[in-house]
Copies of this chain bind each other. A is one copy, B any other.
Amino acid sequence: MKLERVLIVDPIKGEFTGDIEINNKIISKVTLKGYNDYKYIVMPGFVDVHTHGQKGINVMNASNKDFKIWAENNFAYGVTSFFPSTVSASKEQILNVLMNSKDVGLSIEGIHLEGPFINLEKKGAQNPEYIRNPTIQEIEEIINEQVKLITMAPEIDNFYDVIDYLKEKRVVISLGHSSGGFEHFKRAFQSGVNRITHFSNALTPLHHRNIGGTGSALYLDFYLEMICDGIHLSPEFVDLTYKIKGPDKIILITDSFEGAALEDGYYTLGGLEVTVRDRKAFLADGTIASSTLVFNEGVKNFKSFTNCSLQELAKVSSYNALRNLYIFNKGRIETGYIANLVVLNNNLDLVQTIFEGKRVY
């Protein structure tokens, strides 16, 4: 396969016009041609490290076939790598998700456990019934090679009892759903944790006498997940964060649930009832619950909120997420990398998705 006369957007080499050749699953040649015109933009395929479901599929009760369908549906939004994300649940329910999502392949790279080891005070739309402190025993029982990422609150009991085990297993720890202050985030950062879940939702605010989870995320060199649906975070909040952190530490996510890409209506999330109205998902008490965002819309939103460059957009939509999770053979348009690509028009609408060298959308 050859993509000719395109604007190539690589997160490291930047933006240039040229041709891309693909052989089997691999980018075999990237040629800078200096064309003065192009019709399409080609970027690395999008990566969603935090998503609970989509189009009627709920991660917590999805069958093996559902996971496949989810991955196929996700090509329509440019997603070529994603991490189905559990919510707080019993050990049995979590093990069930791991079993059902095993060996799906396609664009599923692993599982993100969002909870249950979080702070009840910052439960957000997580079911309080299942929130608990970790024990090394339960961690050992749950964690297998599918689990790549776990969201935990740094201030809960036993946090420091389990993080060494998790690091040894190469499970990346992300801080979130936390009531912790600067002292907690600083200690976790100094212990090697470098990531924050859906900044700054479900974190303590920046206060002038304790900069909190929000201030710590800005102050220390954390990677930050961000939901750019225009609902969870105001455009100015996203732009301010981009101005402070720069393009190298932001990771776009959808945090979507089964109601995403469907009509307004009534759905469930981790056993809680969720209403979707005007594309906004919320619990009965008004708490924002997950999102109805699809990935390529979040990418367009980030561009319009920040006016960032396309190179920077490639970083926040794929490269940063992959590097943070030790994935080194994807996320660039360069010889030798896996050919996961999106083809966009100048309005950043998705025109084509290429997964492992094959057109899939």
Contact = CB atoms under 8 A, between A and B. Distances in A.
A169 interface: no
Interface string A218-237: 11000000000000111011
A211 B240 contact: yes
A208 B233 contact: yes
A70 interface: no
Counted per complex, copies of this chain come to: 2
Interface stretch (A82-90, A103-111, A199-207, A313-321): A199-207
A182 B240 CA distance: 12
Interface bin, chain A: 20 to 34
If over half of A's interface residues share one DSSP class (helix, strand or loop), that class is named, otherwise mixed; here it is: loop
A258 interface: no
A239 B219 contact: yes
Nearest to A232: B208
Nearest to A230: B209
B214 A240 contact: no
A240 B219 CA distance: 6
A284 interface: no
B207 A236 contact: no
A76 to B, nearest CB: 29
Nearest to A288: B209
A215 interface: yes
A234 B209 contact: yes
A286 to B, nearest CB: 13
A211 B241 CA distance: 11
A86 to B, nearest CB: 24
A218 B244 CA distance: 9
B237 A215 contact: yes
A243 interface: yes
Interface in A188-218: 199-201, 205-211, 214-215, 218
A233 B211 CA distance: 9
Interface of A: 182, 199-201, 205-211, 214-215, 218-219, 232-234, 236-237, 239-240, 243-244
The 10 A-B pairs with the shortest beta carbon distances in the complex, nearest first, are: A219-B240, A206-B206, A200-B208, A208-B233, A208-B237, A211-B236, A205-B205, A209-B234, A211-B237, A244-B244
